[in-house]
Amino acid sequence: MLRALSWILALLAVAIGHYTHTPYGMRIRGFEIFLIVLFGLTAIAATRKPAIAAVAALGLVLGLTREIQFERARQRVESSPIGQRARLGRHLVVGYRSASEAEKWLEEGKIGGIFVGAKNARDRSREELSVELASLRRHGARWIAADQEGGAVSRLSPPLAALPPLSTVAGDLAGVEAYGESHGRDLEALGVDLNFAPVLDLATGLPPALLDLHTRIEERALGADPQQVGDAAIVYAGALERHGVMATFKHFPGLGRVSADTHNFEARVHAPIADLEATDWAPFRAVIAERSGAIMVGHVIVESVDRDRIATRSRAVISGILRESMGHQGLIVTDDLCMAPAFHGPGGVGQAAVDALRAGVDLLLVSYDPDQWFVVMAALLDADDAGLLAAPIADSMLRLESGLSRNHRDHVESAHDRIFSDPRASGAPARGAGVRDASDGARLAGM
Protein backbone atom coordinates (compact mmCIF):
# COMPACT_ATOMS: atom_id res chain seq x y z
CA MET A 1 0.00 0.00 0.00
CA LEU A 2 2.79 2.39 0.94
CA ARG A 3 4.68 1.58 -2.26
CA ALA A 4 1.57 2.20 -4.37
CA LEU A 5 1.01 5.55 -2.69
CA SER A 6 4.65 6.48 -3.30
CA TRP A 7 4.29 5.66 -6.99
CA ILE A 8 1.16 7.77 -7.19
CA LEU A 9 2.94 10.74 -5.61
CA ALA A 10 5.95 10.33 -7.90
CA LEU A 11 3.72 10.16 -10.99
CA LEU A 12 1.81 13.22 -9.79
CA ALA A 13 5.15 15.05 -9.62
CA VAL A 14 5.81 14.07 -13.24
CA ALA A 15 2.33 15.19 -14.32
CA ILE A 16 2.72 18.56 -12.58
CA GLY A 17 6.15 18.98 -14.16
CA HIS A 18 4.75 18.18 -17.59
CA TYR A 19 1.91 20.68 -17.25
CA THR A 20 3.91 23.47 -15.62
CA HIS A 21 3.14 26.76 -17.38
CA THR A 22 0.44 25.19 -19.54
CA PRO A 23 -3.30 25.96 -19.42
CA TYR A 24 -3.90 22.66 -17.63
CA GLY A 25 -1.67 23.77 -14.78
CA MET A 26 -3.01 27.31 -14.54
CA ARG A 27 -4.92 26.75 -11.30
CA ILE A 28 -1.72 25.85 -9.44
CA ARG A 29 0.44 28.45 -11.21
CA GLY A 30 3.26 29.57 -8.95
CA PHE A 31 3.12 26.46 -6.77
CA GLU A 32 4.18 23.85 -9.33
CA ILE A 33 7.80 23.44 -8.27
CA PHE A 34 6.85 23.42 -4.59
CA LEU A 35 4.29 20.65 -5.20
CA ILE A 36 6.73 18.64 -7.33
CA VAL A 37 9.36 18.77 -4.58
CA LEU A 38 6.80 18.02 -1.87
CA PHE A 39 5.32 14.99 -3.65
CA GLY A 40 8.73 13.76 -4.80
CA LEU A 41 10.38 13.93 -1.40
CA THR A 42 7.38 12.34 0.27
CA ALA A 43 7.44 9.47 -2.22
CA ILE A 44 11.18 8.95 -1.80
CA ALA A 45 11.07 9.11 2.00
CA ALA A 46 8.25 6.56 2.15
CA THR A 47 10.07 3.77 0.29
CA ARG A 48 13.61 4.93 -0.54
CA LYS A 49 13.35 3.06 -3.86
CA PRO A 50 15.75 4.27 -6.60
CA ALA A 51 13.09 3.88 -9.28
CA ILE A 52 10.67 6.13 -7.42
CA ALA A 53 13.44 8.66 -6.83
CA ALA A 54 14.21 8.67 -10.56
CA VAL A 55 10.56 9.29 -11.47
CA ALA A 56 10.28 12.11 -8.93
CA ALA A 57 13.49 13.63 -10.27
CA LEU A 58 12.04 13.49 -13.79
CA GLY A 59 9.07 15.55 -12.59
CA LEU A 60 11.41 18.17 -11.17
CA VAL A 61 13.45 18.30 -14.39
CA LEU A 62 10.29 18.73 -16.47
CA GLY A 63 8.98 21.47 -14.20
CA LEU A 64 12.24 23.40 -14.10
CA THR A 65 12.65 23.08 -17.88
CA ARG A 66 9.23 24.58 -18.48
CA GLU A 67 9.92 27.33 -15.95
CA ILE A 68 13.14 28.21 -17.76
CA GLN A 69 11.46 28.15 -21.17
CA PHE A 70 8.68 30.44 -19.97
CA GLU A 71 11.12 32.85 -18.33
CA ARG A 72 13.12 33.05 -21.57
CA ALA A 73 9.96 33.87 -23.48
CA ARG A 74 9.03 36.57 -20.97
CA GLN A 75 12.49 38.11 -21.13
CA ARG A 76 12.38 37.97 -24.94
CA VAL A 77 9.19 40.02 -24.87
CA GLU A 78 10.36 42.47 -22.22
CA SER A 79 13.60 43.20 -24.08
CA SER A 80 12.03 43.61 -27.53
CA PRO A 81 11.92 47.01 -29.28
CA ILE A 82 8.77 48.91 -28.38
CA GLY A 83 7.87 49.63 -31.99
CA GLN A 84 8.14 46.00 -33.07
CA ARG A 85 6.26 44.86 -30.00
CA ALA A 86 3.40 47.26 -30.68
CA ARG A 87 3.24 46.27 -34.36
CA LEU A 88 2.84 42.62 -33.40
CA GLY A 89 0.86 43.19 -30.22
CA ARG A 90 -2.11 44.73 -32.02
CA HIS A 91 -2.92 41.20 -33.26
CA LEU A 92 -3.37 39.89 -29.70
CA VAL A 93 -6.65 39.82 -27.79
CA VAL A 94 -5.83 38.60 -24.29
CA GLY A 95 -7.77 37.66 -21.18
CA TYR A 96 -6.71 39.29 -17.94
CA ARG A 97 -6.67 38.62 -14.22
CA SER A 98 -6.41 42.18 -12.90
CA ALA A 99 -7.06 45.53 -14.52
CA SER A 100 -3.72 46.92 -13.35
CA GLU A 101 -1.85 44.07 -15.05
CA ALA A 102 -3.79 44.53 -18.27
CA GLU A 103 -3.29 48.30 -18.21
CA LYS A 104 0.46 47.77 -18.00
CA TRP A 105 0.42 45.42 -20.99
CA LEU A 106 -1.65 47.91 -22.98
CA GLU A 107 0.48 50.93 -22.10
CA GLU A 108 3.62 49.11 -23.17
CA GLY A 109 2.10 48.14 -26.51
CA LYS A 110 2.32 44.42 -25.77
CA ILE A 111 -1.28 43.60 -26.63
CA GLY A 112 -3.94 45.21 -28.77
CA GLY A 113 -7.16 44.03 -27.21
CA ILE A 114 -8.75 42.66 -24.07
CA PHE A 115 -11.06 39.70 -23.57
CA VAL A 116 -13.42 40.22 -20.65
CA GLY A 117 -14.74 36.95 -19.29
CA ALA A 118 -16.55 35.36 -16.38
CA LYS A 119 -13.64 35.75 -13.98
CA ASN A 120 -13.61 39.51 -14.62
CA ALA A 121 -17.37 39.88 -14.24
CA ARG A 122 -17.79 37.68 -11.18
CA ASP A 123 -19.25 39.54 -8.19
CA ARG A 124 -19.17 42.83 -10.09
CA SER A 125 -21.99 45.24 -10.80
CA ARG A 126 -22.55 46.60 -14.30
CA GLU A 127 -21.26 49.97 -13.17
CA GLU A 128 -18.07 48.54 -11.67
CA LEU A 129 -17.31 46.49 -14.76
CA SER A 130 -18.04 49.35 -17.15
CA VAL A 131 -15.70 51.65 -15.20
CA GLU A 132 -12.95 49.04 -15.39
CA LEU A 133 -13.39 48.53 -19.13
CA ALA A 134 -13.42 52.28 -19.71
CA SER A 135 -10.06 52.47 -17.93
CA LEU A 136 -8.67 49.69 -20.13
CA ARG A 137 -9.87 51.61 -23.17
CA ARG A 138 -8.09 54.75 -22.00
CA HIS A 139 -4.89 52.74 -21.53
CA GLY A 140 -4.95 51.68 -25.16
CA ALA A 141 -7.30 48.72 -25.71
CA ARG A 142 -8.18 48.74 -29.40
CA TRP A 143 -10.69 45.94 -28.89
CA ILE A 144 -12.72 44.88 -25.88
CA ALA A 145 -14.14 41.46 -26.66
CA ALA A 146 -16.66 39.25 -24.87
CA ASP A 147 -18.28 35.85 -25.35
CA GLN A 148 -21.95 36.57 -24.78
CA GLU A 149 -23.92 34.10 -26.93
CA GLY A 150 -26.82 33.65 -24.56
CA GLY A 151 -27.79 30.39 -22.92
CA ALA A 152 -24.93 28.32 -21.51
CA VAL A 153 -22.25 30.59 -22.99
CA SER A 154 -23.01 33.90 -21.31
CA ARG A 155 -19.70 34.88 -19.75
CA LEU A 156 -20.98 38.26 -18.54
CA SER A 157 -24.15 37.02 -16.88
CA PRO A 158 -24.27 38.20 -14.19
CA PRO A 159 -24.09 41.18 -14.08
CA LEU A 160 -25.86 41.17 -17.47
CA ALA A 161 -29.26 39.53 -17.68
CA ALA A 162 -29.12 35.79 -18.39
CA LEU A 163 -31.10 35.10 -21.56
CA PRO A 164 -32.17 31.72 -22.93
CA PRO A 165 -30.22 30.43 -25.96
CA LEU A 166 -30.69 32.42 -29.16
CA SER A 167 -31.97 29.18 -30.72
CA THR A 168 -35.21 29.62 -28.76
CA VAL A 169 -36.19 32.50 -31.06
CA ALA A 170 -34.16 31.65 -34.18
CA GLY A 171 -37.29 30.88 -36.22
CA ASP A 172 -38.86 34.25 -35.37
CA LEU A 173 -36.73 37.03 -36.84
CA ALA A 174 -38.55 39.73 -34.91
CA GLY A 175 -37.62 37.84 -31.76
CA VAL A 176 -34.04 37.50 -32.99
CA GLU A 177 -33.81 41.24 -33.52
CA ALA A 178 -35.20 41.95 -30.06
CA TYR A 179 -32.70 39.50 -28.62
CA GLY A 180 -29.84 41.18 -30.49
CA GLU A 181 -30.99 44.61 -29.37
CA SER A 182 -30.93 43.46 -25.75
CA HIS A 183 -27.39 42.13 -26.16
CA GLY A 184 -26.31 45.20 -28.09
CA ARG A 185 -27.58 47.65 -25.49
CA ASP A 186 -25.98 45.75 -22.64
CA LEU A 187 -22.63 45.31 -24.34
CA GLU A 188 -22.53 48.91 -25.53
CA ALA A 189 -23.23 50.12 -22.00
CA LEU A 190 -20.35 48.01 -20.66
CA GLY A 191 -17.94 49.19 -23.35
CA VAL A 192 -17.64 45.91 -25.28
CA ASP A 193 -17.23 46.36 -29.04
CA LEU A 194 -16.56 42.78 -30.26
CA ASN A 195 -18.88 39.94 -29.29
CA PHE A 196 -17.98 36.32 -30.05
CA ALA A 197 -21.48 35.47 -31.24
CA PRO A 198 -23.57 34.21 -32.98
CA VAL A 199 -22.92 30.48 -33.48
CA LEU A 200 -23.31 29.41 -37.11
CA ASP A 201 -22.49 25.74 -36.57
CA LEU A 202 -25.45 23.61 -37.64
CA ALA A 203 -27.40 21.28 -35.37
CA THR A 204 -26.93 17.84 -36.91
CA GLY A 205 -28.40 15.63 -34.22
CA LEU A 206 -24.95 14.27 -33.42
CA PRO A 207 -24.75 13.56 -29.69
CA PRO A 208 -21.73 15.00 -27.86
CA ALA A 209 -18.93 12.70 -26.85
CA LEU A 210 -18.84 11.49 -23.27
CA LEU A 211 -15.96 13.85 -22.45
CA ASP A 212 -17.38 16.87 -24.29
CA LEU A 213 -17.73 19.24 -21.36
CA HIS A 214 -17.39 22.54 -23.24
CA THR A 215 -18.03 22.53 -26.99
CA ARG A 216 -21.52 20.93 -27.00
CA ILE A 217 -22.53 22.51 -30.29
CA GLU A 218 -25.88 20.72 -30.40
CA GLU A 219 -26.97 22.81 -27.41
CA ARG A 220 -25.65 26.08 -28.85
CA ALA A 221 -26.55 25.83 -32.55
CA LEU A 222 -29.35 28.03 -33.89
CA GLY A 223 -30.85 25.20 -35.92
CA ALA A 224 -30.34 22.63 -38.64
CA ASP A 225 -31.54 24.68 -41.64
CA PRO A 226 -28.65 26.69 -43.18
CA GLN A 227 -30.94 29.45 -44.42
CA GLN A 228 -32.66 29.89 -41.08
CA VAL A 229 -29.32 30.01 -39.30
CA GLY A 230 -27.89 32.50 -41.80
CA ASP A 231 -30.92 34.79 -41.69
CA ALA A 232 -31.03 34.75 -37.90
CA ALA A 233 -27.31 35.54 -37.72
CA ILE A 234 -27.68 38.47 -40.13
CA VAL A 235 -30.52 39.97 -38.11
CA TYR A 236 -28.78 39.42 -34.78
CA ALA A 237 -25.55 40.96 -36.07
CA GLY A 238 -27.44 43.95 -37.43
CA ALA A 239 -28.92 44.60 -34.02
CA LEU A 240 -25.45 44.53 -32.46
CA GLU A 241 -24.11 46.86 -35.15
CA ARG A 242 -26.69 49.49 -34.32
CA HIS A 243 -25.04 49.67 -30.90
CA GLY A 244 -21.49 49.80 -32.26
CA VAL A 245 -20.78 46.15 -31.40
CA MET A 246 -19.24 43.88 -34.02
CA ALA A 247 -20.56 40.33 -34.25
CA THR A 248 -18.29 37.32 -34.66
CA PHE A 249 -19.62 34.42 -36.70
CA LYS A 250 -18.31 31.11 -35.40
CA HIS A 251 -16.82 28.49 -35.63
CA PHE A 252 -15.73 28.18 -39.25
CA PRO A 253 -15.44 25.62 -40.86
CA GLY A 254 -18.25 24.35 -38.64
CA LEU A 255 -18.31 22.10 -35.59
CA GLY A 256 -21.74 20.55 -36.10
CA ARG A 257 -20.26 17.39 -37.60
CA VAL A 258 -17.86 16.62 -34.75
CA SER A 259 -18.65 15.28 -31.31
CA ALA A 260 -15.21 15.69 -29.73
CA ASP A 261 -14.57 18.58 -27.35
CA THR A 262 -12.18 20.81 -29.31
CA HIS A 263 -10.99 22.38 -26.08
CA ASN A 264 -9.18 19.16 -25.19
CA PHE A 265 -9.16 16.79 -28.18
CA GLU A 266 -8.45 16.72 -31.89
CA ALA A 267 -11.56 16.85 -34.06
CA ARG A 268 -11.87 16.07 -37.77
CA VAL A 269 -14.53 16.85 -40.34
CA HIS A 270 -14.67 14.06 -42.91
CA ALA A 271 -17.30 15.49 -45.28
CA PRO A 272 -16.36 16.40 -48.87
CA ILE A 273 -16.21 20.06 -49.86
CA ALA A 274 -19.40 19.86 -51.92
CA ASP A 275 -21.40 18.71 -48.90
CA LEU A 276 -19.89 21.41 -46.70
CA GLU A 277 -20.65 24.10 -49.28
CA ALA A 278 -24.29 23.06 -49.40
CA THR A 279 -24.76 22.89 -45.65
CA ASP A 280 -22.23 23.95 -43.01
CA TRP A 281 -20.69 26.77 -45.04
CA ALA A 282 -23.93 28.22 -46.42
CA PRO A 283 -24.65 30.40 -43.34
CA PHE A 284 -21.11 31.77 -43.47
CA ARG A 285 -21.50 32.72 -47.13
CA ALA A 286 -24.77 34.45 -46.29
CA VAL A 287 -23.33 36.59 -43.49
CA ILE A 288 -20.19 37.42 -45.48
CA ALA A 289 -22.41 38.84 -48.22
CA GLU A 290 -24.42 40.99 -45.81
CA ARG A 291 -22.33 41.88 -42.78
CA SER A 292 -19.00 43.40 -41.81
CA GLY A 293 -18.55 41.14 -38.79
CA ALA A 294 -15.56 39.02 -37.86
CA ILE A 295 -15.30 35.27 -38.36
CA MET A 296 -13.91 32.99 -35.69
CA VAL A 297 -12.04 29.93 -36.94
CA GLY A 298 -12.14 26.77 -34.83
CA HIS A 299 -9.40 24.24 -34.11
CA VAL A 300 -10.83 21.49 -36.31
CA ILE A 301 -9.22 19.63 -39.21
CA VAL A 302 -11.16 19.59 -42.49
CA GLU A 303 -9.76 16.54 -44.23
CA SER A 304 -11.06 17.48 -47.67
CA VAL A 305 -9.17 20.81 -47.50
CA ASP A 306 -6.10 20.26 -45.30
CA ARG A 307 -5.54 16.86 -43.71
CA ASP A 308 -2.52 17.94 -41.69
CA ARG A 309 -3.38 21.28 -40.09
CA ILE A 310 -6.14 22.55 -37.85
CA ALA A 311 -8.15 25.26 -39.56
CA THR A 312 -6.66 28.07 -37.46
CA ARG A 313 -3.20 27.43 -38.90
CA SER A 314 -4.22 26.34 -42.41
CA ARG A 315 -3.61 28.68 -45.33
CA ALA A 316 -5.86 26.48 -47.46
CA VAL A 317 -8.79 27.04 -45.11
CA ILE A 318 -8.27 30.70 -44.22
CA SER A 319 -6.82 32.25 -47.36
CA GLY A 320 -8.12 29.64 -49.78
CA ILE A 321 -11.69 29.11 -48.60
CA LEU A 322 -12.59 32.13 -46.46
CA ARG A 323 -10.66 34.87 -48.24
CA GLU A 324 -10.60 33.75 -51.87
CA SER A 325 -13.57 31.43 -52.36
CA MET A 326 -16.04 33.14 -50.02
CA GLY A 327 -14.67 36.64 -50.46
CA HIS A 328 -14.41 37.52 -46.77
CA GLN A 329 -12.11 40.54 -46.50
CA GLY A 330 -13.06 41.39 -42.94
CA LEU A 331 -11.51 40.29 -39.68
CA ILE A 332 -10.69 36.69 -38.83
CA VAL A 333 -9.99 35.69 -35.22
CA THR A 334 -8.80 32.38 -33.86
CA ASP A 335 -10.61 30.44 -31.23
CA ASP A 336 -8.66 30.47 -27.96
CA LEU A 337 -5.09 29.36 -28.63
CA CYS A 338 -5.01 27.83 -25.14
CA MET A 339 -7.19 24.99 -26.45
CA ALA A 340 -5.37 21.66 -26.79
CA PRO A 341 -5.32 21.24 -30.60
CA ALA A 342 -3.49 24.57 -30.91
CA PHE A 343 -1.46 24.50 -27.71
CA HIS A 344 -0.20 20.94 -28.06
CA GLY A 345 0.14 20.96 -31.84
CA PRO A 346 3.46 21.01 -33.74
CA GLY A 347 5.68 23.76 -32.34
CA GLY A 348 3.29 24.55 -29.50
CA VAL A 349 1.16 27.63 -29.01
CA GLY A 350 3.83 29.99 -30.36
CA GLN A 351 4.08 28.23 -33.71
CA ALA A 352 0.29 27.98 -33.87
CA ALA A 353 0.11 31.77 -33.60
CA VAL A 354 2.79 32.31 -36.26
CA ASP A 355 1.06 29.89 -38.63
CA ALA A 356 -2.30 31.56 -38.04
CA LEU A 357 -1.02 35.03 -38.97
CA ARG A 358 0.75 33.66 -42.02
CA ALA A 359 -2.44 31.88 -43.06
CA GLY A 360 -4.44 35.14 -43.02
CA VAL A 361 -5.77 35.51 -39.46
CA ASP A 362 -5.95 39.03 -38.00
CA LEU A 363 -6.56 38.53 -34.28
CA LEU A 364 -5.04 35.88 -32.03
CA LEU A 365 -7.18 35.06 -29.01
CA VAL A 366 -5.41 34.03 -25.78
CA SER A 367 -8.16 34.08 -23.20
CA TYR A 368 -8.22 31.14 -20.79
CA ASP A 369 -4.57 31.35 -19.66
CA PRO A 370 -3.36 34.94 -20.14
CA ASP A 371 0.29 34.06 -19.41
CA GLN A 372 0.50 32.21 -22.72
CA TRP A 373 0.60 35.50 -24.60
CA PHE A 374 4.26 35.83 -23.55
CA VAL A 375 5.02 32.59 -25.38
CA VAL A 376 2.94 33.70 -28.35
CA MET A 377 4.61 37.11 -28.54
CA ALA A 378 8.10 35.62 -28.23
CA ALA A 379 7.37 33.34 -31.19
CA LEU A 380 5.97 36.26 -33.21
CA LEU A 381 9.08 38.31 -32.48
CA ASP A 382 11.33 35.49 -33.68
CA ALA A 383 9.24 34.98 -36.83
CA ASP A 384 9.23 38.71 -37.52
CA ASP A 385 13.01 38.87 -37.15
CA ALA A 386 13.22 36.04 -39.68
CA GLY A 387 11.12 38.03 -42.16
CA LEU A 388 8.19 35.61 -42.08
CA LEU A 389 5.46 38.05 -41.04
CA ALA A 390 6.04 41.20 -43.09
CA ALA A 391 3.56 40.45 -45.89
CA PRO A 392 0.74 38.93 -43.82
CA ILE A 393 0.98 41.70 -41.23
CA ALA A 394 0.84 44.39 -43.90
CA ASP A 395 -2.34 42.88 -45.32
CA SER A 396 -3.84 42.39 -41.88
CA MET A 397 -3.10 45.97 -40.82
CA LEU A 398 -5.51 47.28 -43.45
CA ARG A 399 -8.25 44.95 -42.24
CA LEU A 400 -7.63 45.87 -38.61
CA GLU A 401 -7.80 49.59 -39.28
CA SER A 402 -10.90 49.16 -41.41
CA GLY A 403 -12.56 47.14 -38.67
CA LEU A 404 -11.69 49.72 -36.03
CA SER A 405 -12.86 52.71 -38.04
CA ARG A 406 -15.94 51.15 -39.61
CA ASN A 407 -19.29 52.34 -38.37
CA HIS A 408 -20.92 49.00 -37.59
CA ARG A 409 -24.32 50.52 -38.26
CA ASP A 410 -23.51 50.79 -42.00
CA HIS A 411 -25.24 48.41 -44.38
CA VAL A 412 -27.80 47.39 -41.78
CA GLU A 413 -30.96 48.56 -43.46
CA SER A 414 -30.48 46.84 -46.82
CA ALA A 415 -29.87 43.47 -45.22
CA HIS A 416 -32.63 44.06 -42.68
CA ASP A 417 -35.18 44.79 -45.40
CA ARG A 418 -34.11 41.79 -47.50
CA ILE A 419 -34.42 39.35 -44.62
CA PHE A 420 -37.67 40.73 -43.24
CA SER A 421 -39.35 40.83 -46.65
CA ASP A 422 -38.43 37.23 -47.51
CA PRO A 423 -41.64 35.16 -47.36
CA ARG A 424 -39.57 32.08 -46.53
CA ALA A 425 -38.47 33.66 -43.24
CA SER A 426 -40.58 31.99 -40.57
CA GLY A 427 -42.34 34.47 -38.35
CA ALA A 428 -41.01 37.52 -40.24
CA PRO A 429 -43.10 40.70 -40.25
CA ALA A 430 -43.91 42.57 -43.42
CA ARG A 431 -41.24 44.52 -45.26
CA GLY A 432 -40.08 47.52 -43.26
CA ALA A 433 -41.91 46.35 -40.16
CA GLY A 434 -38.90 45.06 -38.27
CA VAL A 435 -38.68 45.61 -34.56
CA ARG A 436 -37.36 49.06 -33.78
CA ASP A 437 -37.89 49.16 -30.04
CA ALA A 438 -36.54 45.92 -28.64
CA SER A 439 -38.21 44.34 -25.68
CA ASP A 440 -36.16 44.34 -22.55
CA GLY A 441 -33.97 41.54 -21.19
CA ALA A 442 -36.55 40.60 -18.59
CA ARG A 443 -39.16 39.73 -21.25
CA LEU A 444 -36.63 37.78 -23.29
CA ALA A 445 -35.47 35.90 -20.22
CA GLY A 446 -39.03 34.74 -19.76
CA MET A 447 -39.26 33.07 -23.17
Number of neighbouring beta carbons within 10 Å of residue 251: 25
Alpha-carbon distances, residue 393 vs 79, 384, 388, 412 (angstroms)? 21, 10, 9, 29
Helix (H), strand (E) at residue 186:
helix 173-190
Q: What is the CA radius of gyration of the chain?
A: 23
Catalytic residue among 263, 299, 328, 416: 263
Give the distance between the most distant pair of CA atoms in the chain: 81
Catalytic residue among 335, 355, 362, 371: 335
263 is catalytic: yes
252 — phi, psi (to 5°)? -60, 140
CA distance linking residue 332 with residue 323, whole number of Å: 10
251 is catalytic: no
The secondary structure of residue 160, as a DSSP letter, is: S
Closest CA to 57 of 40, 70, 69: 40
CA distance linking residue 231 with residue 233, whole number of Å: 5
CA distance linking residue 53 with residue 416, whole number of Å: 68
Strands of 126-233 (E only): list them: 143-146, 148-150, 153-154, 194-195
Give the active site residues. Answer: 263, 335
